[in-house]
């Protein structure tokens, strides 16, 4: 799943987005509410909050340090650079 704002895009691996536990962690971690948990437990990206991203990396930390990370924050204003 991928959603794009004006400045930021967020991409989450589809299998990870279906993981209710990861969806809960991402929803709780994000200080600007980019992530929400659907009624069925899967992850939703809140489109209108994307450009509120402060690049805090809390979502990447919540993803548990998997390599590769199932969550990517893409800086559209910086030529598509991925936050590492």
Residue 16 belongs to domain with CATH number: 3.30.70.20
User: How many domains, in total, are found in the chain?
Assistant: 1
- Decide: helix, strand or coil at residue 79: coil
Q: Which domain holds residue 24?
A: 2-82
Stretch (H or E) spanning 17? helix 14-17
pTM: 0.90
Query: From first to last of its 84 residues, what are the pLDDT tens digits of the chain?
Result: 999 999 999 999 999 999 999 999 999 999 999 999 999 999 999 999 999 999 999 999 999 877 788 999 999 999 999 987
Among residues 8, 6, 51, the alpha carbon closest in space to that of 71 is found at 8
């Amino acid at each position: 799943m991928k959603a794009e704002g004006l400045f930021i895009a967020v991409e989450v691996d589809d299998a990870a987005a279906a993981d209710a536990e990861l969806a809960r962690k991402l929803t709780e971690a994000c200080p600007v509410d980019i992530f929400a948990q659907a009624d069925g437990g899967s992850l939703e990206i809140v489109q209108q909050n994307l450009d509120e991203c402060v690049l805090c990396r809390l979502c990447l930390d919540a993803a548990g340090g998997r390599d590769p990370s199932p969550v990517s924050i893409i800086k559209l204003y910086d030529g598509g650079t991925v936050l590492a």
